[in-house]
Amino acid sequence: MSQSEYTTAQTTALTNHDRKPIHIPGSIQPHGILLALSTQLEILQVSNNTQVYLCKAPEDLLGQPLSYLLEPQPVEIVKQCLVKKVGSANAFKVLINTLYGEIYFDAIAHRTEEAVILELEPTDSEFEVSFLNFHSFASEAIAKMQNTSNLIEFLHSVAEEVQKIIGFDRVMVYQFDQSEAGSVVAEVKREDLSPYLGLHYPATDIPAQARELYTRCFLRFLPDLTAEPVKLVPTENPTTHQQLDLSYCLLRSFDWCCTQYHQNMGVKALLVISLVQEQKLWGLISCHHQTPKYISYEVRKMCEFLGQIVSSELAHKISHSEWDYKVKLKSLQSEFLESISQADNFIDALIKPEIRLLDLVSASGAAVCLDNEITLVGTTPNIHEVRALIEWADIQVTDNLFSTDSLPKLYPEALIFKDTASGLLLLRISKVRRYYILWFRPEVIQTVHWAGNPNESIQTQADGSITLSPRKSFEQWQETVRLTSLPWKACELDSAIALRNAIIGIVLSKADELAKINLELERSNQELASFAYAASHDLKEPLRGIYNFSTVLLEDYAQVLDDDGIECLQTVVSLSVRMETLINALLRLSQLGQAQLRLQATDLNKLLNQVIDVFRASRQDSQFVDIRIPRPLPTVLCDRILVNEVFSNLLGNAFKYNDKAEQWVEIGYLSQEEAGGQGSKEQGAGGAGGAGGAGGEELLTHTQSPLPLIPRGGPTFPNSQSPITFYIRDNGIGIPQHHLATIFRLFKRLHSQQKYGGGAGAGLAIVKKIVELHNGKIWVESTVGVGSMFYFTLE
């Protein structure tokens, strides 16, 4: 059998073991009798030992009303159970006449799904232990247990007091861990017995269905593990036609594995008291005796009561160090969340100062993943290992919180970085985006002392099948545990969940706040655009009047004006023209702010031919214009009128700001590889080397003819692809580095009005607005005296 087949068979054996129906054994222990009743209190089933205790055969009782056996008052007590919830019990003393004479019984009736089960245990006394006696007996034990705040000392005191009450040879307090295995944390025993204190026991020693019954029933008593169980008659309940559910029965017989297991330990009598904290089985008070030993029902109820007191005290008896640790985590958590809520940068808030994110769960390292951006903090695997781990978690982890103290056992690739990440706590912040926080803990090599070899219970049969059998040896057995970290505590997991909830709350709050700001900003922009349009439109009329009247004065009244007056009027005319240019630019920007794009597939080769035709027609020296197109331009989805304006402005600027004897402009686009090399540049950001760019100059086509030779049939780029990066490159005067971030501002001029033909300084602002309307970006690289290269994208 291969290792994988063995592991699968072992898992199947454990699963089957956990599914054994121990709550329906079909039999009881022989120290009492059982009667299953209908809703009319008719006897439907009895244990096959009624002749021993009642001198009545099962056949004499089946089908009879309960009143056949009991007096009216106890019958009424049993009847009251019918209106109670399942599991609720009534306990009382009852006297039954038999051929042996009158016999007193402890009667315990409890509600089931079908009706009522009545258990009868013979007792020597007709009197119940009085409340005062019970209180006197129990209060002293409770006082001693409460006299210490240390958890281990408290549990040792519990074991001592329980042993005083029942007189068993050994009383242990057994605590479960996160894997459902456990260890003995307190013990009181007979001197000649071997100690079990500090020894560990595998989860298979107390299977899942037994732990579940311990959670529902707080006490289990087996006075004689060598006694033969007594069958129920009939085997199936006549009402349900199924075996009777004995989950809440005190007399329920024991499983063969349980018997064999404890007999292998030399135990003949067993009493187990459940310790439950926050509705979860925290541990057990397990009491062993080397010979059969019966304990009265009243004493057992006292033990059950003490168990409930211990359970309620557990939360208050957690060691001071652990309590202080919880308080520290809470304080750190509050401070951390407050700083996150006030921070502008989420990543900075998480990792600065770094120690806070690690201290939040006592980790040695962490990784914050926001989509493809990963930030490492502290001692962690490298970035590639973390990225691979996150890809594994995407598939394997479905919960928002995942933790393990042995990552290499689940993710074999983690063996490489076990020294930094044998333990993993993973927090998924979003299920839509890849947002994670991962915390790491290093490997801690441990030596575990087991009560016998824990693997001994897993037996391989001759046919290769795997079964579970009771262990025979409980001698101390050491195991060195590797590839594990310190376990993650419940309070640390709570701290991680609180962080996730807070982050989600903060994000939602920020999103709501941002939505309000955006709404207000949109309204303000609309009002501003409307105002700008109206203001600039209304300004043109008086400005036109100023221009006209100034012209009339110059033409008709020049003879009555001196030279200074004529010069002033000429200045007014010039300023009026300048003002109208600025107003027209402002009007154009206002129109663009309210424009709706008319997107259509546009062959940029045709569009650029039109742009160049217009450009050449407007220049007297067009025969000297050198425009280069190294390869066909693509067909894209855009507003052709607006994109025409982009190329017109950029092409005009390229020749306008050029003082070279031989001027040229190159227009093209970057391949995917070249665009990737460009990186993600912000608008207005620039760098040196503006003369570089797409292709080498030796690959360009030089055209001196009136029309450029633009090849036809360029590629078509569908919208689903990455945006194309276009460029317009020149050998002009260049732009100083400190101006690169401001040239796209409205009315921003780098030269005086008299140099390079003047202008309103609005062309690049209009270009930027058009590009942004297409969800694109524009930026520039330039070197003074060498040239500039403008890039832009269209999405």
Of the candidates 630, 736, 631, the residue with the CA atom closest to the CA atom of residue 690: 736
Based on the fold, state whether residues 182 and 164 are members of the same structural domain.
yes
Looking at 78, 104, 122, the residue that finishes a domain is: 122
Asked whether residue 475 is domain-assigned, the answer is no
The stretch 34-38 carries a mean pLDDT of 96
Distance of alpha carbon 304 from alpha carbon 311, whole angstroms: 10
Res. 12 pLDDT band, cuts 50 70 90: very low
Residue 708 CA to residue 625 CA, distance in Å, equals 10
Domain annotation covers residue 459: no
CA distance 183 to 168: 20
Q: Structure tokens of 703?
A: 């055209």
Which amino acid, 72?
P
Domain membership of residue 391 (yes or no) is yes
Are 638 and 767 part of one and the same domain? yes
**Which of helix, strand or coil describes residue 477?**
strand
Q: State the residue range of the domain holding 776.
A: 596-794
Q: How far apart are CA 740 and CA 764, in angstroms?
A: 12
Q: What is the pLDDT of residues 396-449, one digit of tens each?
A: 988 889 999 999 999 999 999 988 999 999 998 877 778 888 999 998 765 555
CA distance linking residue 246 with residue 195, whole number of Å: 34
The total of structural domains in the chain comes to 5
DSSP 118: E
For tokens 């996160």, what's the residue?
Answer: 178
Residues 308 and 328 in one domain: no
Would you place residue 350 in the very low, low, confident or very high pLDDT band (cuts 50, 70, 90)? low
How far is residue 575 CA from its own chain's centroid?
A: 65
Domain boundary among 286, 321, 356: 321
Q: Among residues 126, 74, 82, 119, which one has the least CA distance to residue 103? A: 126
E runs forming strands in 278-400: 280-289, 365-370, 373-378
Three-class secondary structure of residue 387 per DSSP: helix
Which range (235-239, 255-259, 291-295, 307-311) has the least confidence? 255-259
- Rounded distance, CA 260 to CA 256, Å? 6
Q: What is the CATH number of the domain that holds 522?
A: 1.10.287
Strands 446-451, 476-481: pairing kind = antiparallel
Tell me which of 720 and 692 has the higher pLDDT.
Answer: 720
Does one domain contain both 397 and 340? Answer: yes
| pLDDT confidence of residue 771 | 86
Please give, one letter per residue, the 3-state secondary structure of 606-618.
HHHHHHHHHHHHC
Residue 32's closest CA among 263, 240, 224, 226?
A: 224
- Give mean pLDDT, residues 94-121: 92
For residue range 642-687, list pLDDT tens digits in order.
888 889 888 888 888 888 888 889 999 987 666 655 544 443 333 3
Q: What does each C-alpha distance from 439 to 322, 327, 499 come to in angstroms?
A: 21, 21, 13
Shared-domain flag, residues 279 and 387: no
Name the amino acid, one letter, at 637: L
The Cα 117–Cα 511 span in angstroms is 60
User: CA-to-CA distance for 250 and 228, rounded, in angstroms?
Assistant: 16
Can you read off the two tokens belonging to residue 232? 């129920």
* Largest separation between any pair of C-alpha atoms in the chain: 153
Shared-domain flag, residues 203 and 311: yes
Domain identity same for 263 and 154: yes
- Reading the block at residue 149, the tokens are 């705040």
402: domain CATH number is 3.30.450.270
pLDDT at 623 over 70: no
759 versus 164: which is more confidently predicted? 164
Structural domain includes residue 7: no
The stretches of 668-740 forming alpha helices (DSSP H) are 672-678
Residue 131 domain flag: no
Spatial distance between the Cα atoms of 720 and 665, rounded to a whole number of angstroms? 31
pTM, whole model, 2 decimals?
Answer: 0.53
Q: Over the chain, what is the mean pLDDT?
A: 78
pLDDT of residue 535: 59
pLDDT tens profile 273-290? 999 987 889 999 999 999
Q: Based on the fold, state whether residues 104 and 250 are members of the same structural domain.
A: no
- pLDDT-based confidence at residue 59 (cuts at 50, 70, 90): very high
Per residue, the 3-state secondary structure of 495-531, as one string, reads HHHHHHHHHHHHHHHHHHHHHHHHHHHHHHHHHHHHH
| pLDDT at 176 exceeding the cut of 50 | yes
Whether residue 2 contacts residue 89, with contact meaning beta carbons closer than 8 Å, is answered with no
579-590 confidence digits (pLDDT tens): 666 566 556 655
Last residue of a domain, one of 321, 351, 382: 321
